[in-house]
Amino acid sequence: MSELTHSEHRDYTGSKLGMWLFLFTEILLFGGLFLLYAVYRAVHSQEFHRAAAGLSTTLGAINTLILLTSSLTMALSISALRQGKRNASIAYQAITIIFGLAFLVNKFFEWSGHIHEGLYPNSPHLLSRSNGEVLFYGLYYVMTGLHGIHVFIGVVAIAIMASLTVRGSVSDENFNKLENTGLYWHLVDIIWIYLFPLFYLIT
C-alpha cells in the first residue's frame, strides 16, 4: 500500500524480473556459441588440443582471478549501499571498474600476442594449419571477443551507476539500477567461468 503515499511508482520486482529475462537472452546467445564449440570440438578433438596449446593458461587464470574478484566487489558495493554506506559503495564500484579495465588490458596484450604470431582470422599462417585449428581460433576470437564487448558494456554501466550514486539518484532507498547492473556483471563473470576451462585448460 506504500505506493499510494509515494509520488513516484517503483516496481522493484518487475524491474528485476525484466533484467533476468534479458539475462536469459544473453545465456541463449552465448549458448548458441557454446553449442558450436561443443560440436566442433567433438568432431576435431585432436586439432582443438593442438590449437589450445597456443593459449597462455597463466593469462587466462589471471583474468579469471580478476573477474571473480570484481564480482565480489560488485556484490559488496550493493550490500554497502543498502546499509547506507554510500562512500564505501562508490569505492567498491570504482574498484570493480578498475578490475574490468584490467581484464580488457590483459585481453588486449593476449590478442596482440596472437596477432603478432600470425594467428588471427583468415591469416595465411592460420589457414596453413588444419581445419580444426582454424575453427578453434575462429571460436576463440568470436567468443572471447563477444565476452570482451560485454565486459566493456558492463564497465560503462557501472561507471554510470557510480555517477548516479554520487549524485544520489541511486541510494539506499533506490538501489534497483545498481542491483540490475550487478546482475549483468555477474552473468558476464559466469560466462567467463565457462570460457576459461573450454579455451585455456585443454591440455
Q: How far apart are CA 29 and CA 1, in angstroms?
A: 39
Smallest gap from Cβ 200 to other proteins, in A, equals 8
Binding test (CB under 8 A) with other proteins, winner from 51, 74, 97, 161:
74
- Exactly one of 18, 24, 128, 156 binds other proteins (CB under 8 A); which one? 24
Does the footprint of other proteins cover residue 102 (CB under 8 A)? no
Total residues at interface with other proteins (CB under 8 A): 51
* Rounded Cα gap, residues 39 and 131, in angstroms: 14
The three three-digit cell numbers of residue 103, written as one number: 581484464
Determine, following the binding rule CB under 8 A, whether residue 164 of this chain makes contact with other proteins: no
Q: Min. distance of Cβ 122 from other proteins in angstroms?
A: 26
3-state secondary structure at position 88: helix
Q: In this chain, which of 82, 86, 129, 177 binds other proteins, going by CB under 8 A?
A: 82
For 57-96, letters b (16+ CB in 10 Å) and e give eeebeebbebbeebbebbebbbebbeeebbeebbbbbebb
Question: Using the rule CB under 8 A, is 152 a contact of other proteins?
Answer: no
CB of 116 to other proteins, least distance (A): 26
How many other CB atoms are there within 10 angstroms of residue 122's CB atom? 8
CB of 75 to other proteins, least distance (A): 5
> Distances in Å between the alpha carbon of 118 and those of 69, 109, 122, 129?
33, 14, 10, 12
13 binds other proteins (CB under 8 A): yes
Q: Given candidates 18, 20, 84, 115, which one binds other proteins under the rule CB under 8 A?
A: 20
Q: Which residues bind other proteins (CB under 8 A)?
A: 2, 6, 12-13, 16-17, 20-21, 24, 27-28, 31-32, 34-35, 38-39, 42-43, 57, 61, 64-65, 68-69, 71-72, 74-76, 78-80, 82, 173, 175, 179, 182-183, 186-187, 189-190, 193-194, 196-198, 201-203
